[in-house]
């Protein structure tokens, strides 16, 4: 892999997209590299939270520009046939589905352009944080295409149908981080130079909880949101029950009940 880099810091993995000659645009190869990166992180048993972020470069005018992902690769898509378009849509959806259902929470640290396939990628993450320079939008219809990687589905589920349709129909690519915050597309906005520190703090806070319980929460929320409440509550009950097979449940409750004030800080074992 050359354009997607994985770094591990304690119990957190950082997946960084570094394809800035095309503003991190996602081609078939880039989607494959992203998938490979998540497969690699999936094998790291002691990684309990993941941060997905973009990168920066100095452009031709000498200005530093930052991009999470500026969309799918328009150059590659420009000559696609119907069959190739469908295959590209399926491939990209498979990768976003993998991220959405990754066993650990994934935080998108959105450091700049977050357009089209980039916004779709961010929406497949569990939590989105944005830097104050970030720009959002679904510009697809301005290119003669529909979103193909969850934009017509996850956006409406996340921010409501009316606002989603505004983004999807207008093709505007200039919704600011504050706009994204107001519409519920991102959880928090930070100055660019604080974004990764804040993402790391949040990731470490999540990684310090019982990892199996966190994974079960993710499954219960994701699956439950796509089913009726009664079935979802049964799923939640099953997830809750499964926790009692873990050492971490016994440890976590014993830690709470231990009245010794000098006890060591809590440290779960992912067992």
Residues at the interface with ligand CO8 (CB under 6 A): 22-23, 25, 59, 65, 70-75, 88-89, 92, 113, 115-117, 120, 139-140, 143, 147-149, 173
Residues 50, 125: Cα–Cα separation, whole Å: 10
Nearer to ligand CO8 (CB atom), residue 24 or residue 246:
24
User: Catalytic: which of 100, 120, 236, 247?
Assistant: 120
Distances (CA, A) of 185 to 58, 121, 123, 223, 235: 28, 12, 8, 20, 27
* Residue that is written with structure tokens 């290119």 in the block: 143
Residue 236 is among the residues annotated as catalytic for this protein: no
Q: Are strands 49-53 and 135-137 parallel, antiparallel or unpaired?
A: unpaired
In the complex, least distance from residue 15 CB atom to ligand CO8, rounded to whole angstroms? 18
Residues 31, 24: Cα–Cα separation, whole Å: 11
Nearer to ligand CO8 (CB atom), residue 71 or residue 211:
71
* CB-CB neighbours of 108 under 10 Å: 29
Nearer to ligand CO8 (CB atom), residue 105 or residue 112:
112
Residue 140 is among the residues annotated as catalytic for this protein: yes
User: Catalytic: which of 35, 140, 166, 236?
Assistant: 140
In the complex, least distance from residue 183 CB atom to ligand CO8, rounded to whole angstroms? 19
In the complex, least distance from residue 6 CB atom to ligand CO8, rounded to whole angstroms? 22
CA 59 to chain CA centroid, Å, is 26
Backbone φ and ψ of 47, nearest 5°: -95, 120
Q: Which of 86, 108, 109 is nearest to 154 (CA)?
A: 108
Nearer to ligand CO8 (CB atom), residue 75 or residue 229:
75
CA 84 to chain CA centroid, Å, is 26
Catalytic site residues?
Answer: 120, 140
């Amino acid at each position: 892999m050359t354009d997607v880099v994985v770094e591990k810091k304690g119990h957190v993995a950082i997946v960084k997209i570094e394809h800035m000659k095309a503003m991190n645009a996602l081609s078939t190869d880039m989607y494959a590299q992203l998938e490979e990166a998540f497969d690699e992180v999936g094998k790291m048993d002691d990684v309990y939270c993941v941060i997905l972020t973009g990168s920066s470069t100095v452009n031709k005018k000498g200005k530093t520009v930052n991009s999470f992902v500026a969309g799918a690769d328009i150059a590659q898509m420009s000559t696609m046939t119907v069959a190739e378009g469908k295959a590209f849509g399926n491939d990209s959806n498979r990768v976003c589905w993998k991220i959405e259902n990754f066993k650990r929470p994934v935080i998108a640290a959105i450091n700049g352009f977050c357009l089209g396939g980039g916004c779709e990628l961010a929406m497949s993450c569990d939590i989105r944080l944005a830097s104050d320079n970030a720009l959002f939008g679904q510009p697809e219809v301005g290119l003669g295409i529909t979103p193909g990687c969850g934009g017509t589905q996850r956006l409406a589920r996340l921010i409501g149908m009316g606002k989603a349709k505004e983004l999807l129909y207008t093709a505007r690519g200039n919704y600011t981080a504050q706009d994204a915050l107001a519409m519920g597309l991102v959880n928090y906005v930070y100055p660019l130079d604080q974004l990764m520190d804040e993402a790391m703090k949040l990731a470490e806070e999540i990684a310090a909880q019982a990892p199996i319980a966190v994974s079960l929460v993710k499954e219960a929320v994701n699956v439950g949101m796509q089913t009726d409440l009664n079935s979802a509550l049964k799923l939640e009950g099953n997830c809750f029950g499964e926790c009692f097979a873990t050492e971490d449940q016994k440890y976590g409750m014993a830690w709470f009940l231990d009245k010794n004030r000098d006890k060591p800080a809590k440290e779960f074992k992912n067992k």
